[in-house]
Structure 1
Amino acid sequence: MSQNKFKLVECPRDAMQGLHDFVPAKLKSEYLNLLLQVGFDTLDFGSFVSPKAIPQMADTIEVLANLDLTDISTKLLAIVANLRGIEDALKHEHVRYLGFPFSISETFQQRNTNSSIEQSLTTVEKMLLLCDKNNKKVVIYLSMGFGNPYGDVWNYEIVEKWADILVSKGVEIISLADTVGVSTPKKIEHILPKLISRFSNTEIGIHLHSTPTERFEKIEAAYNSGVKRIDSALKGFGGCPMAADDLTGNIATEDVIAYLNSRCETVELNMEKWNEAMRLSAKIFG
């Protein structure tokens, strides 16, 4: 299925990773197989990280083995946080994208990947070389991209500086991530057009977290900013367990679809399979 000019990235991994009760691999796979049939551009399906850090994703390899990828156009993305995770992910033919959370908050980079920003940059450099050799693509999530709760200095110049450095290293896809829901329409419309204009040969996307009441205006701001790559999760489930205890959820995919439809944008998705996934989600998320 074509996605026309918008790349919709569905993020069940982000939705599930903070759940307290472990979701069996069989149920995860059943859910992911439905989402694969919907026709999203990319499915953020799992992660190759320490099971101690994210216990919910400990069965990613088992889940991957149970995915039916026959006649599926959706590309699989897995999150990695260090060289070991990168090497593990590279062993799997069907994983097309490796996503790395690169925080512009020093505090959060240490909390999330147990490394400094500079150490993470070295990891990204190695990751780019390895992915190039193995025919994989790198997606860098520029996390805490709209501010942070730790008191670390944040401004647009810092966002642009790190985007500039990453692009100079060879990064082709950057998703600006609002890890704790501090973005506002004003910030989105200030930052995104500048990044898209400055890095015209780089795919600039957005990964927003939000309270339900603010989702629509953030989606509208992203659309008005010219973003063509949008991360979201069914029903707005999830958030980042490494960032806060009171999780701010993802942008809801159904809100993104509804907004794009309201703007007469073509969104070619299998809504029958989407509705099946919506119903099955109750078994996972309650």
Structure 2
Amino acid sequence: MKIIECPRDAMQGREVFIDTAIKAAYINQLLEVGFDTVDFGSFVSPKAVPQMRDTAEVLDLLDLFHSKSKLLAIVANVRGAQDALQFEEIDYLGFPLSISETFQQRNTNKSITEALEFVENLQNLCEVKGRTLVTYLSMGFGNPYEEPFSADIVAQFVGKLDERGVKVIALSDTIGVAEPTMIERIFTTNIEAFPHIEFGAHFHSRPEGIAEKVEASLRGGCKRFDGAIKGFGGCPMANDELVGNVATETLIDVLEKNHGDLGLNKEELGEAMKLANFVFQ
């Protein structure tokens, strides 16, 4: 069972810039907990995401010597990928591919066709550099644009990614609309059809909906989950201030209830939760 902690997703939408040293101190604390991976930053346009303009500087301040956690950074174009690949400390590069044409344009200024071409190029770059590409299939459980959506369409996109050699796909409930029945069906169908791909769940949710979404994913065979401490962050397009990231502490409770101890350092997790109150005040 893998937990990916996502301070990048929690921070990126904050209007007030979080000091570089504070970002690094928080991420260093997260690295002590024992998460499989920490999604720590992104190499994207500082005009588009000003909060992430210091990702390289944050990376330089991270203490990775005693941590078993891997690092993931989001990229949106070739320049960002090239910047990220300069750093050997980064294990995963993430890219958001959307089932929605509208959201793909808004999120990365690319059409779906262009985004798939970029995924292919990025996958090749990652293979050459010995890194792993994580493709986030955003709007993976529905979207607000009245565009066609079904579990079959999700499977078609997974098939396209499989053709390009992608080995990790995070199905993403971008606006918090996923229903447990649909979640279980989508994971079951794709995990059975593509057993060589590692599927993850990146949910945005109201707090009261987290447990049922995670449990539905588990029934579908998912073993990789994204979260952010206290549920900070989330997509503003959800039009509901209560829809944020899955709170990591809730995610841990649900997973341990179903699968036992996850081997995390709960004392360090408690310290991270205290620090989060300061970082996101």
TM-score range, shorter chain: over 0.9
Q: Which amino acid aligns with 1:254?
A: E
Is 2:84 aligned against 1:117? no
1:3-36 CA-partner distances (Å, limit 9, x unpaired): xxx0110011001111111110100000000000
Residue 160 of structure 1: which of 155, 161, 186 is its match? 155
Residue in 1 aligned with 2:67? 72
Is 2:6 aligned against 1:44? no
What RMSD over aligned residues (CA atoms) do the two structures have, in Å?
1.1
Residue 177 of structure 1: which of 163, 172, 175 is its match? 172
Alpha-carbon shift at residue 244 of structure 1 (Å): 4.6
Is 2:12 aligned against 1:11? no
Residue in 2 aligned with 1:3? none
Residue in 1 aligned with 2:78? 83
* In structure 1, C-alpha distance between the alignment counterparts of 2:100 and 2:61, rounded to whole Å: 37
Is 2:215 aligned against 1:220? yes
Is 2:15 aligned against 1:20? yes
Partner of 2:32: helix, strand, or coil?
Answer: helix
| Equivalence map 1:1-286=2 (5 Å) | 6-241=1-236, 243-244=237-238, 246-247=240-241, 248-286=243-281
Unpaired runs of 5+ residues, structure 1, are 1-5
1:244-278 CA-partner distances (Å, limit 9, x unpaired): 55452011111111112222423001111111110
Report if the CA contact (8 A) 2:176-2:238 is conserved: no
* In structure 2, C-alpha distance between the alignment counterparts of 1:224 and 1:264, rounded to whole Å: 12
* In structure 2, C-alpha distance between the alignment counterparts of 1:66 and 1:120, rounded to whole Å: 32
Q: Which amino acid aligns with 2:168?
A: I
Partner of 2:16: helix, strand, or coil?
Answer: coil
1:136-162 CA-partner distances (Å, limit 9, x unpaired): 100000000001111111111110001
Q: Which moved more, 1:99-108 or 1:265-274?
A: 265-274
1:165-204 CA-partner distances (Å, limit 9, x unpaired): 1011100000100111110111101111111111001101
Give the fraction of aligned pairs with identical amino acids, expressed as a percent: 52
Partner of 1:279: helix, strand, or coil?
Answer: helix
Summarize the Cα distance change of 1:195–1:254 in structure 2 as closer, same or farther, 3 Å threshold. same
Report if the CA contact (8 A) 2:101-2:112 is conserved: yes
Unpaired runs of 5+ residues, structure 2, are none
* In structure 1, C-alpha distance between the alignment counterparts of 2:62 and 2:276, rounded to whole Å: 17
Larger RCO (CA under 8 A, 6+ residues apart): 1
Summarize the Cα distance change of 1:244–1:51 in structure 2 as closer, same or farther, 3 Å threshold. farther
Partner of 1:208: helix, strand, or coil?
Answer: strand
1:104-143 CA-partner distances (Å, limit 9, x unpaired): 1000000000000000111111101111111110000000
1:216-256 CA-partner distances (Å, limit 9, x unpaired): 11111112211111111111111135x35545201111111
Q: Which moved more, 1:256-265 or 1:37-46?
A: 256-265
Partner of 2:96: helix, strand, or coil?
Answer: strand
